[in-house]
Each structure stands twice: as C-alpha cells, then as structure tokens.
Structure 1
C-alpha cells in the first residue's frame, strides 16, 4: 500500500484565504472556493449543522457541474447532466461554487464576484469557457433551490428538561433531526440505542473518568490544550470545517474531478451525520457531566459521588444534550470517508485548527488517529462521557459507509471511486 506523507502547506485563517494563486493548477478552484466557504461560516457565526450544510451544498454543486461534463460521467449527487459538450470544467466548477455562495452568503457577494472574475480570467476566453460558466451557474442555482425546503428552517427548539439524567436547558436547532439528507436513505437507521442507565456500572465508570480528566480544578495543560485544539465553537469554521481543511491538505495534488468527488463525498457524509446526531440528542436528552457530577446524589447509583462545585475544564456546561458527541460524529464520518477514498489510513498530515493554542499544528499518522483525539478532547473538556464519544464515532462511520457504498458511483465497473476494491 502506497504511503503518503503530506504536510499542511496552505493556511486558512479567520482573516482570509491563505492559498496562493498558483496553489491549485489541477484542482481547478476547489481549494479557493472551499476556503471562501470556511470564511463565510466564520463570518456568519453559523451553527455546526448549518456549516455542514453549507459545505455540502457548495461541494455537491461543484461535483455535479464537473461530473456533468465528463464522458463517461459518474452518477450525479443532485443535479444530473449532461452539460454542454466541450464546456470547460474549470469554469463550470468556479461558477457553480459562486452561484451557491452568493445565495447563502449575500453579504459577501461582491467578494465572490471578484473571485469568480479572477478565476475565469485565468482560463482561455471563448465558447468553451462561456459554456462552462453558464452550466456551472445553472447547477449551483438548482442546488440552492432544491435545498430551500429541506427542513433546515425555520429554527425549532426543545424546551428545558427536569429531573435526574435530563438536560436542563432549552436548545435550538432541533429541526435538523428531520432535515432531508443529501445522500443516506434513512437517517433514523443510524440513531443508536440509549446511553447506559444511570444506575449501571458502565455509567459509573464513564462518570468517574470524566470527573477526573475533565475537572478544571486539576491542572492538566496537555488535556486542556487538546480540548482547545478541537473545540472550534461558533465563530470558527466549526468541526465539519476542520475536516474540509484536512481533505484540502491531503488532496492537494489530485485532479479537479478527483478533488470535486472527494469533497462532495466528505461533505455529504458530514451534513448527513448531523441528522441522526440531533435526533439522538432530541430523543434521549441526556445531561451533561457538569450537571451529572453536581447532582450525583439523585442518580440512584451508589458508585457515583456528588461534587457540587465541579466545573468542566471547558468552562461551560454545553449548549445541547450530551448524548452523543457531535464532534465525534463529524470526525467519525470524515475519517472514514478519507481513509476509504485513499485506500489507506496511514496518510500522515499536519493540521492547525481555528482554535489551536498559539496556532501550533499537530501531526497525525492517519485520519482515524485525528478522529480519536477529536473525540477524546470532549472528555478532557468535561463536555462528554466516553460512551457519547463512541456513539458519535459510530454514527459517523455508519453514515460514511452508506455514502461511499451508494453515491457518486461509476456507471460501469466493480468499484465506485478508483483503486479501492470496495
């Protein structure tokens, strides 16, 4: 198995796009337009669910615009081809991305217009470019129209709960439990069973672990740094965005068609992981460790002891029910897509998140290693029990398996995305 050794060479910061103009001679705009989407999520302070939806819409549009011009084409993600014969796929890709972002983020439409003009001016003028641009615009428009009634709006909330084991605060975004998926056929099939019963030994063991590892009163600079590295809250590119950045890093030498397909598979899996994750949170309404530890005298478990002054290392209780970990769902989905796309989980890469302490990169031996650390970071922050980390990882992996097995397939041949015999 070929081993890839890659490094993070293009930085993306809240201040703007970090890739130089000649960074993607092969990927045809995929990198720059994804970086613009990352910045849009930061600037608009999008939720994690809305962010994942934005990334999926952008990359589905780019894929369908490029794929619709291929001969032979794969199956489409949302908008079937064929597009105009001989049209420039690079023009189609950037026009599709532009058509999505100007509609999702109209406040920055002028900047997107400038980027589109810059991208098109780099291509040979003429009918092929014009046809590609027109086709891409139409694909992007159709993607936005098709998702307008997907259930992501209006925003809905679940009222605050009461009693042992129950999340106490009202939380919003619960409409995502019913959002129409991009790729999976039945999101409810990926909803796990309940968390361990409050009186069980498994619950007590997880309780004891987070009470120790996530306690803000116990200095642990390494665990705090790991939590901060992966925290990426509102105002950043959100957890899904970190995996988009990782995908851009490891695919930097791929062709336009390959890059578009990878990002579409990845972001559809990320977006669809939101649906069972929110449905699970809504169904079980499990309390966060801070409430559980402070009120352990109410859980009926003789192996848990209350600590009314316990504070999570993260500093806050958390804004949604605890089970499962949404960070873990996104990480499980992304790591599985990337490992199976590249036929290997030993692709070494360096990565810097939006919340990395001092902006320092971390290096990982493979995708699953990064996903495991991202999940464990939530325990270190006192935000989640380990059983919720594992449940989230399982949700993401299940979504990824279905997406890879059923979407963007070759129309003929034994495999759906290249060298892997899947």
Structure 2
C-alpha cells in the first residue's frame, strides 16, 4: 500500500467521524497533502515544494516523513481524534526498527506539518461571523431553526495565489451573474430564469414523474451531503486513489498528484463560497424559489407550496444544503478535480470506476472514460437532486476548471 493513499484514508475516516461543511474539509486535506509533498521533495528533489525552508540530507526515510507529516496535520485539524491518529501511527511504527533514517524522517515530517500549520494560521478559516439573510425575492434564507454553513469561507486565503493578492485572486475567478443579467430583479423576471426554475421543478421534485431511474441514481450517487460520509471532496479523493493505483504511481508522484488535487479542491471551495455569499446574488435554492414563486415577478413561474427536493436526510426529511445555490460547490469541486487530474496525466481520457458512500445510492459503481465526463455528471446530478439550477452547475464547472489550471501553472512545478 502507498503511504500517501494510506494517509488519505485516515483523513477520510476522520471526516466521516467529524462531519461538517466541505470548505474546511478541503482546506484540511490541502494542508495535509502539501505537508506530505514537501517532506517528500525535501528528501527526493524533483518538484518545487509548496513552502520553502525544509531541508534534508536525502538519507531520511520517505515513508516515515510522510506518516509524520500527515499525523501532525491531522492532530491539528481534528484534536478530538488524536488518540486514533496516535494508534494508527503506532501500529505501523512499532514494527519498524528506529534506525537513524527512520528517526530523521519522522523529525522531517513533524517539521513539515508544523510549517504548514503555522503558514495557515490566520488564513480566515476561523471567521464565524454569522450570516444575516436579507428577505428580498431571490435571496437565500436558512430553513427554520437552521444556520448558514461557513458563510465567510469565500474570504479564506487561497492556496494558489500565484503572486496575486487574495482580493485580486477572488476577482479573477468570481463568476458573473448568470444569463447575462446585470441585477437580481431583472434576472428573476427573465425567460432564462423561468427555464431554469421549471427544469428543476420538474426533474428535482421528491416524487418527480419526469426524472428517470438512472437520473435518480445519479442524484444520490454524487450527493454525499450527509455527515457520516466523506463528503464531496472525499468521493473525489477516492477517485484519485483509484486512478493513482491503476497507474502504479510511486510515492513521490502520488504525493504530488494528491497535493495538486487537494489544492484545486480547497481553492474551488473559496471560489464557490465567494460566489454564494460575497456577491449581490445569494441565490435562493429551488425549494425556496418554487414555494415562493409569487415573489419573483415572473409570469412563467408558478408557486407550489408543497414542492420538496429529492435530497433527503437519514430520518427521511427533505432538505437543501444550508448555503446559497449559486454556484454549485459540487460542480466547482468536481471540475477543479477533473481538470487537475487531466493536467497531471496530460490527458482527459482515462477509464476508471467511481464509488459512493451516499446512504440512498444503490451502491453500484459507475464507470467513466474521461475526467471531464465524471465532473459534468456530478454537476448535473444536483439538478436531479432538486437542490440546484443548471446554471449553478455550468458556472461552477467553468470556475473550477479555471482554478485548477491556475494552480497547476503556479504550484509544485
């Protein structure tokens, strides 16, 4: 087994236990995988590190360095699970002689983790300023008794600045208003909005008569919204592992692949949440829009106070994720992931199988022949699930692709 993919499995299990919104998960994964990558390239030069300053003689044990880099970041991210991380590490290391190379590798990994933790201190991820919803037509508002999830995540410092200021970086990737609109009232009155509204109203309803069985399966297959799963980034990391194993990548190549993918998804979260919360369009979800269509001033939309999405909790309650619709996080994550995979391997064409942890999927793996095909289906699935409009998917796909290209051009070369 590859030490990098092993560490990723430990991370995903920590996510299943801890739960939470996808932004912090993606940030944590980027921190861990970049720390592992930097430990590897300090010992086996070949690509630029993410952070400068880590030095090594080249005699350190790479496996030990990777294990300790992951262990250090994991304990920082999920301190309540420290005993689990310690036990996992001890299970491996208790059977390995503590040679000079092993001890030096462990120290190097610890140093890489500490450097990454220090680097990401004060990156905006701890900002818990509450979201204040406005009640204008078209604006998202939390469900009764719920709160907005990570409303300030669009202000987190990106990993792939590439010489840009954080503000300039966000402006570079921020999606415009959809359908060429210049303001929200005009958008709601447009024929384009009515088309988007009526499509998800038909396809995304809990008991839809127009959604096919395969579309229903696609909706659940890519969802992974519920705590207890490894969430959307986790499903994409599982896909990354499948492809890496099939390609028989070495530890250094695996470390670079996972670091690049992790950065792309972490920065995709910043782009998506910036669009969701930091622009004039905090777009309401389809359930809000359809139940309150009498507010949108559009003659081609009709309210249905009983409309509910296909998306469902363990207890059977229908729900939408607790943040605005535009753009889709799933679409932005999957596009960033797919494009980074294509950039790394030099081709979009690859045959691979994807699995799911969503409890409402039938569990049958799905096969794809390109990274972009999987990303497009992932994005489209959110319409079938009843929680997004197609333009959320389309513009998220564009933004995620651009973020991945930027990160690939600027990091770990």
Could you tell me the TM-score, scaled by structure 2's length? 0.88
RMSD of aligned alpha carbons = 1.7
- Larger CA deviation: 62-71 vs 109-118: 109-118
1:353 and 1:307 map into 2 onto residues whose CA distance is 32
- Within the alignment, does 1:267 sit opposite 2:262 as a pair? yes
2:193 and 2:178 map into 1 onto residues whose CA distance is 8
1:39 and 1:370 map into 2 onto residues whose CA distance is 24
2:196 and 2:130 map into 1 onto residues whose CA distance is 28
- Larger CA deviation: 316-325 vs 249-258: 316-325
Equivalent residue in structure 2 for 1:178, among 155, 159, 178: 155
Equivalent residue in structure 2 for 1:366, among 370, 395, 400: 370
2:409 and 2:112 map into 1 onto residues whose CA distance is 24
Equivalent residue in structure 1 for 2:120, among 147, 151, 164: 147
1:102–1:112 contact (8 Å) kept in structure 2: yes
Equivalent runs, 1:305-384 vs 2, <5 Å = 305-314=302-311, 315-355=318-358, 357-384=361-388
Equivalent residue in structure 2 for 1:216, among 206, 209, 212: 206
Give the SS at the match of 2:53: coil
Aligned to 1:280: 275
The unaligned stretches of length 5 or more in structure 1 are 1-23, 410-422
- Larger CA deviation: 216-225 vs 132-141: 216-225
2:76 and 2:104 map into 1 onto residues whose CA distance is 21
- Within the alignment, does 1:247 sit opposite 2:240 as a pair? yes
1:63–1:260 contact (8 Å) kept in structure 2: yes
- Within the alignment, does 1:90 sit opposite 2:73 as a pair? no
1:116 and 1:160 map into 2 onto residues whose CA distance is 45
1:84–1:135 contact (8 Å) kept in structure 2: no
- Larger CA deviation: 396-405 vs 198-207: 198-207
- Within the alignment, does 1:225 sit opposite 2:217 as a pair? yes
Could you tell me the TM-score, scaled by structure 1's length? 0.86
Aligned to 1:400: 404
1:62–1:93 contact (8 Å) kept in structure 2: yes
Change (3 A) 1:124 1:249: farther
- Larger CA deviation: 99-108 vs 393-402: 99-108
2:154–2:273 contact (8 Å) kept in structure 1: yes
Q: C-alpha offsets along residues 196-241 of structure 1, whole Å, 9 cap, x if unaligned?
A: 4112221121112111111223244332222111111141211111
- Larger CA deviation: 212-221 vs 363-372: 212-221
Q: C-alpha offsets along residues 368-388 of structure 1, whole Å, 9 cap, x if unaligned?
A: 111111111100011011001
Change (3 A) 1:80 1:119: farther
- Within the alignment, does 1:57 sit opposite 2:52 as a pair? no
2:271 and 2:396 map into 1 onto residues whose CA distance is 10
Cα offset, 1:124, TM superposition: 6.0
Cα offset, 1:110, TM superposition: 2.5
Cα offset, 1:122, TM superposition: 6.0
1:109 and 1:308 map into 2 onto residues whose CA distance is 47
Give the SS at the match of 1:373: helix
Aligned to 1:108: 81
1:188 and 1:234 map into 2 onto residues whose CA distance is 31
1:397 and 1:163 map into 2 onto residues whose CA distance is 32
1:328–1:390 contact (8 Å) kept in structure 2: yes
Aligned to 1:412: none
Cα offset, 1:143, TM superposition: 1.0
